[in-house]
Amino acid sequence: MSVADQYEIRPHMKFHSTVKIAEYEPKTATWKVIIEDQRTGRETQKRCRILISAVGALSVPKNCDLPGAENFKGHLFHSAQWDHSFDYKDKEVICVGNGCSATQFVPAMSDGPNKVKKIIQFSRQAHWLSERPNPEYSRFFHFMMRWVPGVQRLYRTYLFLLQERDFAGFHVHNGQKIRSEWTHAAKKYIETNAPAQYRDFLVPDTVIGCKRRVMDTDYLSCLHRENVDLIYNDPIDHIIERGIVTKSGREIGADAIVLANGFETQKPLFPMEIRGQNGQSIADHVSRFQRIQSHLKLIGWQWLEFADGSPEAYFGTCLSGFPNFFILMGPNTLSGHLSVLYTSECQINFVIRLIRPILSGLNRSLLSSLFNTEFPGSVVVTSSAERKDVAAIDDKAKQLIWATGCTSWFIDPDTGRNTIMFPDWQFKFHLRSMLFSWSDFIYQKPPKSLQREVLLTHQHSLRATATGITIIGALFGLSSLLGYHPLSKLDALHQYLSAYI
Ligand SMILES: Cc1cc2nc3c(=O)[nH]c(=O)nc-3n(C[C@H](O)[C@H](O)[C@H](O)COP(=O)(O)OP(=O)(O)OC[C@H]3O[C@@H](n4cnc5c(N)ncnc54)[C@H](O)[C@@H]3O)c2cc1C
């Protein structure tokens, strides 16, 4: 059984649907969300009290910026939007890029019964590749994990601490020794495993850790194959109908061009349009238009007010002016040494803590609502808390290698700010998700309409309960008058059931 089925998630999912716009309506304290059906293009509207974005940070592919792309007659697609109608067996393919994505699919496409005739990979800059440990677990290990209580958790903690140690290596000064150990090991690994003609290029001349380190998924060994070519000194100049032309004028034919050129990491939530309580937007802030606005000090663009226009959020999750809105995998939440899943779990727990009073208000018991009619309808972070949080993040980030001027998708090219990485130990991220200051948030009363809605629901339940009690009372009274004792029957039923259970 799949996890989705086990937890009965499917009925709550709506597939083939893209969220286009979300607007907060203070009058009703709801988010109005416009959703597009990807198959029909039809737009529908849905309202919700709480809006959580889980669109990831690596889900919107970068466009193809090579001139002439529109002329190409073959298949041209991004690796994150794989064209499954293209059968690459015995075909000629051009791959653009050599990061985490390409190092996974180039080995897969160049081997096995469906391998390509030729794959030519264009690379701009080498990545630090390191050995991917993939041990075989013994039967004893399996047994311990399955049957001995606590061992799984203990092993998980051990793995966490092993990885967490690596954070020290990102510190500009204190991490030098660790980085030189990483560099030594990775260099040795690349030199041992890469083909001689590529060795000089494949050992990067950049500082290790600035770009995310790449675990080698058989990439170096696939470069030895006859059907794989790596071109690093003659970049693509433009695309033509049947292939590409390099800067030196070399023409290379191809049936397909696969882009592995990365994602729009500096435009979180893009291309959704999200507008907060004053109609203010957090849309793309790096466009020229918005930068002009910034200079003119016009209002309306959330990220222009903070962090010089680069993406930021309180604990990477909340924005002032955007009540009941939360961003998972938001700005400054990732790590260079541990998994995003851990980060997202911390954020989910943080969001649940914040919205619990609102949910409890909506689902209150009849009794509690009789004694107390007050409950919050929305929660929003204060702008001073947001500002303080961003300043603290920037302060910490200054001490880490991403502030040394190296290029990486973690850094906003316009401001030089690290907008992606959490600049501290991951255990502190976990602690922060629990030990935040409640005074950083304002809980607002629900609008009158919602109070009335909850009150009406309770009035209905109250009326139903009173009616039920009256009917049962009347039945009891009537049966007593007739000399019939229902409680004695219940006793008999209990004795009967006890004999069988
Ligand atoms: C090549 C590669 C290697 C990676 N390796 C690692 C790794 O080793 N460790 C690690 O921790 N992380 C890694 N990552 C990062 C990875 O993104 C996360 O680990 C993980 O996928 C994040 O999960 P998520 O659910 O937050 O986002 P995603 O998995 O990106 O899911 C986002 C979903 O939202 C949908 N969506 C986007 N916009 C909209 C919209 N407007 N309306 C409706 N739906 C929308 C997308 O279609 C997608 O289904 C890697 C990513 C890539 C691309």
For residue 215, report the distance from its CA to the centre of ligand 1, in Å: 18
Question: Is the separation of the CB atoms in 484 and 475 below 8 Å?
Answer: no
For residue 422, report the distance from its CA to the centre of ligand 1, in Å: 17
For residue 334, report the distance from its CA to the centre of ligand 1, in Å: 12
Name the average pLDDT for the chain.
88
Q: Which position has the higher pLDDT, 329 or 1? A: 329
For residue 78, report the distance from its CA to the centre of ligand 1, in Å: 15
The pLDDT of residue 350 is 98
Give dist(CA 270, CA 57) in Å, integer: 10
Taking the CA of residue 20 as reference, the ligand 1 atom at the shortest distance is 41
18, 43, 58: which to mutate for ligand 1, most atoms within 8 A of CB?
Answer: 58
The pLDDT of residue 267 is 86
pLDDT of 43 strictly over 50: yes
Q: What is the pLDDT of residues 195-253, one digit of tens each?
A: 999 999 999 999 999 888 899 999 999 999 999 999 999 999 999 999 999 999 999 99
Residue showing tokens 């080995």: 107
pLDDT of 347 strictly over 90: yes
The pLDDT of residue 361 is 82
Taking the CA of residue 100 as reference, the ligand 1 atom at the shortest distance is 1
Lining residues, ligand 1, CB within 6 Å? 18-19, 54-56, 58-59, 100-101, 272, 328-329, 339-340, 344
Give dist(CA 421, CA 166) in Å, integer: 14
Q: Which position has the higher pLDDT, 7 or 292? A: 7
The pLDDT of residue 375 is 82
pLDDT band at 297 (very low <50, low <70, confident <90, very high): very low
* SS3 category, 70: helix
For residue 241, report the distance from its CA to the centre of ligand 1, in Å: 33
Tokens for 488, please give them: 């004695």
* Mean pLDDT along residues 127-132: 93
Residue nearest atom 51 of ligand 1, based on CA coordinates? 58
pLDDT band at 298 (very low <50, low <70, confident <90, very high): very low
* Mean pLDDT along residues 114-118: 97
pLDDT of 306 strictly over 80: no
Residue 197 CA to its chain's centroid (Å): 38
3-state helix, strand, coil in the chain (%, to 5): 40, 20, 40
* Mean pLDDT along residues 431-449: 91
The burial class, CB within 10 Å (0-12 / 13-18 / 19+), for 396 is: middle
Share of the chain above pLDDT 90, in %: 71
pLDDT band at 290 (very low <50, low <70, confident <90, very high): very low
Q: Which position has the higher pLDDT, 447 or 253? A: 253
Nearest CA among 325, 329, 322 for reference residue 346: 329
Taking the CA of residue 344 as reference, the ligand 1 atom at the shortest distance is 26
pTM across the whole model: 0.84
Tokens for 425, please give them: 């130990």
Question: Is the separation of the CB atoms in 334 and 343 below 8 Å?
Answer: yes
pLDDT band at 407 (very low <50, low <70, confident <90, very high): confident
The DSSP result for 293-341, as a single string, is HHHTT-S-BHHHHSGGGS---BTTTB-TT-TTEEETT-TT-B-SSS-HH
For residue 173, report the distance from its CA to the centre of ligand 1, in Å: 32
For residue 447, report the distance from its CA to the centre of ligand 1, in Å: 36
pLDDT of 372 strictly over 70: no
Taking the CA of residue 215 as reference, the ligand 1 atom at the shortest distance is 8
Taking the CA of residue 19 as reference, the ligand 1 atom at the shortest distance is 42
Residue nearest atom 49 of ligand 1, based on CA coordinates? 55
Task: Among 150-154, 250-254, 371-375, 494-498, name the one with the lowest average pLDDT.
Answer: 494-498
Give dist(CA 410, CA 421) in Å, integer: 7
Helix H or strand E segment including 378: strand 378-381
Residue nearest atom 32 of ligand 1, based on CA coordinates? 55
The pLDDT of residue 451 is 62
The pLDDT of residue 250 is 96
Taking the CA of residue 17 as reference, the ligand 1 atom at the shortest distance is 43
The pLDDT of residue 109 is 98
Task: Among 39-48, 196-205, 302-311, 393-402, name the one with the lowest average pLDDT.
Answer: 302-311
pLDDT of 271 strictly over 70: yes
For residue 56, report the distance from its CA to the centre of ligand 1, in Å: 4
104, 340, 409: which to mutate for ligand 1, most atoms within 8 A of CB?
Answer: 340
Taking the CA of residue 271 as reference, the ligand 1 atom at the shortest distance is 41
pLDDT of 370 strictly over 80: no
The pLDDT of residue 102 is 97
pLDDT of 371 strictly over 70: no
pLDDT band at 366 (very low <50, low <70, confident <90, very high): low
Q: Which position has the higher pLDDT, 271 or 53? A: 53
pLDDT band at 500 (very low <50, low <70, confident <90, very high): very low
* Mean pLDDT along residues 258-278: 91
Q: What is the pLDDT of residues 183-197, one digit of tens each?
A: 999 999 999 999 999
Residue nearest atom 23 of ligand 1, based on CA coordinates? 56
